[in-house]
């Protein structure tokens, strides 16, 4: 083989090999434009209204077959207690599935912390769940296409496709993912996709007596919850990660992470 010939065939081979198989699956522009423009699920949490009863956590676990006794949960409630001395204490015993029934704050290894009533400046509860991010970090790291965003903005896990590598559990900045002890795949809040896609409410929002959790269709200008998100002062958790979380909070402050 002459040098010229070799160079020619090498160039042809390299350029051919560069076009990988997946790149040959061309995007259909109609498919891209067919994004459902009328529906984008969002969530609103009012931390002023939450009393820490934990009924949302219990309802979520029962609704979604997450074992009550397992130390994993799709949603949980955190308690924050700030003192005059500038200390911040937080806890979430068992994800608050039994509620908060004591003033003592669970500090894990250092035991239970007693904070005197007169020392407390701020104290409140913050319910947490999957933020169903617009640019979800957990979805991008999945090596097999098992976790994905639906057109209406819900992040789901395909249990048949998940290989249980745990990248998404590490990738989520909010720690909302866990390894399901029964199904043995990654698991997370589905925003009760089975309920909301039939016109229902999420189990957690339905179980909340005080309306601290609310489901919203962010694309519907007449949705009262979407109106609050659009017109009131709401925050999101860890905006610095750039994941564009779609779970909005009323009454956040900087101690909440």
Binding interface with another protein (CB under 8 A): 1, 21, 25, 27, 31-32, 34-36, 47-55, 59, 62-64, 98-103, 117, 120-125, 135-136, 139-140, 145-151, 156, 158-161, 190, 193-195, 197-198, 200-201, 203, 206-207, 209-211, 251
- The residue among 220 and 255 lying less far from another protein, judged by its C-beta, is 255
Q: Which is nearer to another protein, 2 or 160 (CB)?
A: 160
Comparing CB distances to another protein, the nearer of 109 and 148 is 148
CB of 87 to another protein, least distance (A): 15
Please report how close the Cβ of residue 251 comes to another protein at its closest, in angstroms.
7
Residue 95 Cβ, how far from another protein at the closest point, in Å?
14
Angle at 196 between CA 193 and CA 198, to 5 degrees: 105
In the complex, what is the shortest distance from the CB of residue 250 to another protein, in angstroms, rounded to a whole number?
A: 12
Q: C-beta of 116: minimal distance to another protein in Å? A: 9
Q: CB nearer to another protein: give 111 or 145.
A: 145
The CB-side HSE value for 161 (13 A sphere, CA atoms) comes to 10
Judged by beta carbon, residue 2 or residue 109, the one nearer another protein is 2
C-beta of 132 vs 216, nearer to another protein: 132
Least Å distance between CB 192 and another protein? Answer: 8
């Amino acid at each position: 083989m002459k040098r010229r010939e070799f160079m020619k065939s090498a160039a042809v081979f390299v350029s051919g090999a560069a076009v990988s198989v997946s790149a040959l699956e061309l995007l259909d522009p109609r498919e891209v434009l067919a994004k459902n423009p009328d529906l984008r699920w969002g969530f609103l949490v009012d931390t002023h209204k939450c009393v820490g009863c934990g009924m949302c956590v219990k309802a979520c676990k029962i609704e979604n077959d997450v074992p009550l006794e397992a130390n994993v949960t799709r949603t949980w409630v955190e308690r924050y207690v700030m003192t005059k001395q500038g200390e911040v204490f937080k806890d979430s015993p068992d994800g608050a599935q039994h509620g908060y029934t004591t003033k003592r704050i669970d500090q894990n290894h250092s035991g239970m912390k007693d904070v005197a009533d007169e020392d407390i400046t701020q104290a409140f509860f913050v319910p947490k769940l999957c933020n169903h991010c617009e640019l979800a970090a957990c979805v991008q790291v999945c090596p097999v296409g098992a976790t994905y965003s639906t057109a209406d903005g819900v992040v789901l896990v395909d249990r048949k496709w998940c290989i249980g590598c745990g990248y998404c559990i590490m990738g989520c900045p909010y720690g909302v993912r866990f390894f399901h002890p029964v199904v043995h795949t990654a698991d997370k809040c589905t925003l009760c996709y089975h309920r909301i896609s039939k016109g229902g409410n999420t189990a957690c929002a339905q179980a909340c007596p005080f309306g601290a959790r609310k489901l919203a269709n962010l694309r519907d200008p007449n949705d009262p919850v979407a109106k609050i998100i659009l017109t009131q002062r709401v925050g999101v958790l860890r905006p610095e990660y750039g994941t564009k979380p779609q779970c909005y909070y009323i009454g956040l402050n900087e101690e909440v992470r």
